Structure 1
């Protein structure tokens, strides 16, 4: 199972990203100067068993964090930038320790292996140009990405050789996880409804709202007396769905306009809502069907559960493994 938040990192096992606490953000940077950190970072941020760690990957990842939080309306303060930088440096130290361990146990990642992996990743993009443009948006050149990819491949091999063989998941654990998390396996319940909309002329003043309300009330009375909803929608509704009899199709609660969803998910099939008003006008909803969430059988998801638990166990085991490597390592930090 691979990490799938973005296609550039899709080659990296999720265990590496869970272990490192990484959360890649794939957004268009535009290489804007204002995304640069406000803090000063030395050229060499740390040294691990004589190997220097450059500030370059730290600044690159810090820029992403600055950009992400700025988009959320929460720009980082200089103190928060320092905290983020220190965490990134610690992560880079851990990566370096794993690469050094990989080489110590005889792992050799050759350039052809890196190119082969890069070729796999490129197939997920429409063209090489799109791939390279995406890298540029992440602040990476092709050569820099090759270095990053080679590091990830070293780390992956250490985890496969030193950590994953010791991980065992038995049937009892799988079943226990399934029973405790059944609600997470099912799809979200969906409902189907139809709507009639009567708009209020924004230039008509108070009289326009009164006229619109009278019209929807007349329609509502006819529906209550047995008129066909689809026919009434085709005849009277004032939105793009009128040709379809007002049919909204199936939708999950999170997918639908909130005033519709909060009513539809309280109704029974064939129920009519009360008349209600939104900024669009006056509405009537009719619930036409319910598609309950379906929880898959244990045997159908057992393999997925095993993979998930194995990745989580490997991530925790990797943290402990690196902690042991740190005990005998010569680590110096300069930030």
Structure 2
């Protein structure tokens, strides 16, 4: 069982590398996104978000770095972790620049790793082509029906927040809000995370998308409610205002089809790889180079009662 689980994990990793990762939770949220006054930016809109010694970092670079993180990080609203993602890209560019100045691109170690990377890209390209040949609408529809059955609609909250470093700051903000101050304006002035540019708006989210303390506080409130005391999390102290509550709307098949490819692709990839293995001569040895121990025999089926 352990070997089978590990093999499946490796197939998932290879398929994800070939096709890219996706979040069905985010798609479910987008299926019933509110109509904003301003039109959402188009995919072609890719502004520069930083410059490092003249080299541009664009928004698409930030989103690409998010895709490389684990599923838990991808569930957070982008605005909340944007500053950390951007700083990571800035630091990466600084280190790369220093490495090129030191001519490390010509070193034997780097050339070896480039060859290894080439091999990975060839693997991914071949696997992607094989998956595309075997992908069908029927397989996608079966995966969709299975996903819908396993994911009944959840409750969602739309909230704004103001994140600050200390409880004293948060208490002062709550006092101002109770005195009639505008929440969005204060978020822009006092907030310390990426949502400050959007009035603290986190959009709609389900409970398990947020850290426990924040989620419990937000889901216990009613639309229009303001948190009476600061909510402490690993990020700092939050002042929360709940804007709306609703039942999550699941995506239609047409909306989900592009994302369902990832799940179906994993099944196809495992089938393809097993086919390659059956037609190949594969010899495996123990970690010390000696013979591999024989696999344990499957337990005998219990005798039928007469």
Shorter-chain-normalised TM-score: which range? 0.3 to 0.5
TM-score normalized with structure 2 length: 0.39
TM-score normalized with structure 1 length: 0.37
Larger-Rg structure:
1
